[in-house]
């Protein structure tokens, strides 16, 4: 959320500190590693947006801003829709839930492919809005792709057999609905 580059910086550092603590506490439970690494990845993502914001404000060269825009979008559009369902898949014991979450990985792969293709077709842009950064890729059928993205990411969480993970999925789904509505009036970047 680019309320300011400084907010992104503080948020990224705070999320990173939480991520380091999470990694320190997983011990030898290898099935948790991918999910435990998520806060560190999200911290890097948040810090990248700080550089996008600074680039848009002219504090860095336009090239630095463009590179960080690509890094930000590659994580959000290409990595996350596959990574998150895969991390949940690794948590689940073999069975019905794991097969369902496997379908979310497949959906996330389709979404990632479509979003990467849109990025490569371009143009990829970032511009300052009121309390957010507006990213654009010239995506066709954007509403359908966004719905599939949310289904792949939040759905994989919601279908988890772990109650706290499923609850986190519902909270994220509600947050996405709120933020989607709010960005219609330029409230916050997603």
Per-residue tens of pLDDT for the chain, all 190 residues = 456 788 888 889 999 999 999 888 888 777 888 899 999 999 999 999 989 988 888 888 888 889 999 999 999 999 999 999 999 999 999 999 999 999 999 999 999 999 999 999 989 988 887 777 888 888 877 788 889 999 999 999 999 999 999 999 999 999 988 877 665 543 334 4
Measured CA distances, 174 to 24, 45, 59, 143 (Å):
30, 21, 35, 17
Q: Strand, coil or helix: what is 150?
A: helix
Q: What is the pLDDT, as a whole number, of residue 2? A: 57
Q: What is the pLDDT, as a whole number, of residue 182? A: 60
Q: What is the pLDDT, as a whole number, of residue 186? A: 39
Q: What is the pLDDT, as a whole number, of residue 84? A: 96
Q: What is the pLDDT, as a whole number, of residue 135? A: 86
Q: If we measure between CA atoms, which residue out of 156, 30, 169 comes closest to residue 83?
A: 156
Q: What is the pLDDT, as a whole number, of residue 88? A: 96
158 phi and psi angles, rounded to 5 deg: -60, -35
Q: Which residues contact 123 (CB under 8 A, 6 or more apart)?
A: 136, 137, 138
Q: CB-based burial of residue 64 (10 Å sphere; 0-12 exposed, 13-18 middle, 19+ buried)?
A: middle
Q: CB-based burial of residue 141 (10 Å sphere; 0-12 exposed, 13-18 middle, 19+ buried)?
A: exposed
* Exposure letters 94-119 (e unless 16+ CB within 10 A, then b): eeebbebbeebbebbbebbebbeebb
Question: How far is residue 138's CA from residue 146's CA, in Å, rounded to a whole number?
Answer: 13
Whole-angstrom Cα Rg for the chain:
17
């Amino acid at each position: 959320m680019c309320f300011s580059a400084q907010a992104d910086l503080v948020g990224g550092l705070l999320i990173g500190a939480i991520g380091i603590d999470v990694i320190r506490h997983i011990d030898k439970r290898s099935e948790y590693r991918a999910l435990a690494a998520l806060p560190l990845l999200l911290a890097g993502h948040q810090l990248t947006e700080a550089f996008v914001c600074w680039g848009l404000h002219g504090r860095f060269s336009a090239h630095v801003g463009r590179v960080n825009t690509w890094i930000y979008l590659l994580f959000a559009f290409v990595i996350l829709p596959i990574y998150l369902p895969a991390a949940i898949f690794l948590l689940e014991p073999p069975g019905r839930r794991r097969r369902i979450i496997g379908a979310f990985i497949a959906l996330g792969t389709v979404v990632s492919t479509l979003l990467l293709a849109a990025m490569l077709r371009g143009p990829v842009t970032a511009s300052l809005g009121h309390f957010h950064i507006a990213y654009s890729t010239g995506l066709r059928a954007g509403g359908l792709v966004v719905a599939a993205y949310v289904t792949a990411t939040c759905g994989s969480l919601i279908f988890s057999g772990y109650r706290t993970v499923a609850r986190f999925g519902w909270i994220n789904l509600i947050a996405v609905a709120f933020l989607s509505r709010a960005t219609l009036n330029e409230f916050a970047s997603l």
